[in-house]
Amino acid sequence: MRLYAKNSSVVYLALLYAFGWQRVTLAAVAPTFFATLAKMRGVDIELVDVGLDYSNNAMVTHNFFESFKPTSQIVFQNWGEPVGEARVWVMKYKNCVAIECDEQIGQKVELFLNGGVKKGRLWNYDLVDIGIKNLRPPCEVCAELVEESNEIVEYLNEQFASNPYFDTLPLGTKTIKREYPILLKPSLYCPKEDIYQELKQNGIDVKVRFKPLYRTTLLAGEYLPTSEELYKAVLVLPLSKDIVGPLMEVLEKYRYRGCSF
């Protein structure tokens, strides 16, 4: 069964409702709404560590760069073909979210995303449960967009091969990529803030993600080493051929500062 919605956060809320979970297992680097919306529903949360290949068996996981094959029950990814085994696939592209699931779960999700309203004959209806209106008409993404992002990824991989400043990540080919992640070498962890600010000043829309949820006040908890390392290392760059020169220039500037913990 395939449904379409406008917002992935509301879709996640619908899935929590449909599964009726009292407890969820989340990767420590999951998006924050995975935790906050679960908390709103009174669902207990267990955080688990994640490998740098992003492979884990968390109940709900986020395929940030489609670089692994999860076995979780719910998987969020950028638009494209499923890349693993999961009971529910959530695929987001701009203001369209597609949900692929079996009929039993799908009917519950559809009811929630229809505001809890069950439609009858003509204009008749009944309000039978809680929900948030969020359904939208079907939408599709053309294959050319996937190929275009793959071509840019291939170019950047070639340009950055064997560079001394960072490692790249294996990006899959089935989904649209809009960003390009890198993992800084440990010697650049300390000047990371300066690197970030200078890239911003140079017009590169760099981002930092994967702050471990246990570092937040809401979910303060056990230190998980791989998630911590990922947080120190990752920078997320826009997927553009124009980033090569400015990025290497900034990293060259800071490589001599060094870093030790």
- The pLDDT score that the predictor gives to residue 255 is 82
Q: Is residue 95 part of a domain?
A: yes
pLDDT in tens, 76-128: 998 888 888 899 999 998 889 999 999 999 999 999 999 999 998 999 999 99
pTM, two decimals, is 0.90
- The pLDDT score that the predictor gives to residue 27 is 92
Same domain, 195 and 152: yes
Q: Is residue 133 part of a domain?
A: no
Question: Would you state the structure tokens that stand for residue 19, as one six-digit string?
Answer: 């599964």
Same domain, 228 and 123: no
- The pLDDT score that the predictor gives to residue 54 is 74
Q: Is residue 137 part of a domain?
A: no
Residue ranges of the chain with per-residue pLDDT less than 70: 257-261
In 3D space, the residue among 146, 127, 248, 148 whose CA is nearest the CA of residue 199 turns out to be 248
- The pLDDT score that the predictor gives to residue 195 is 96
- Strands, DSSP E only, in 169-254? 179-184, 234-238
- The pLDDT score that the predictor gives to residue 73 is 94
Q: Is residue 247 part of a domain?
A: yes
- Whichever domain contains 105, its CATH number is 3.40.640.10
Longest dimension (CA), the chain: 72
- The pLDDT score that the predictor gives to residue 39 is 96
How many structural domains does the chain have? 2
- Whichever domain contains 224, its CATH number is 3.90.1150.10
- The pLDDT score that the predictor gives to residue 260 is 60
Same domain, 245 and 154: yes
Is 243 exposed, middle or buried (CB count within 10 Å of its CB: 0-12, 13-18, 19+)? buried
Q: What does the alpha-carbon distance between residue 28 and residue 46 come to, in Å, rounded to a whole number?
A: 9
Same domain, 121 and 237: no
- The pLDDT score that the predictor gives to residue 36 is 97
Question: Would you state the structure tokens that stand for residue 174, as one six-digit string?
Answer: 């089935």
Question: Would you state the structure tokens that stand for residue 84, as one six-digit string?
Answer: 């693993």
CA distances from 137 to 4, 6, 17, 62, 110 (A): 6, 9, 22, 24, 13
Same domain, 177 and 123: no
Same domain, 12 and 102: yes
Residue environment code for 196-232, b if the CB has 16+ CB neighbours within 10 A, otherwise e: bebbeeeebebeeebebbbeeeebeeeebeebbebbb
Same domain, 103 and 201: no
List Cβ<8 Å contacts ≥24 apart for 5-8.
5/96, 5/97, 5/99, 5/113, 5/134, 5/135, 5/136, 6/95, 6/96, 6/97, 6/134, 6/135, 6/136, 7/97, 7/134, 8/33, 8/76, 8/90, 8/92, 8/97
Give the range of the structural domain holding residue 29, as residue numbers without chain letter: 2-127
Instruction: Annotate 1-13 with DSSP letters as a single string.
Output: -EEEES-HHHHHH
- The pLDDT score that the predictor gives to residue 257 is 66
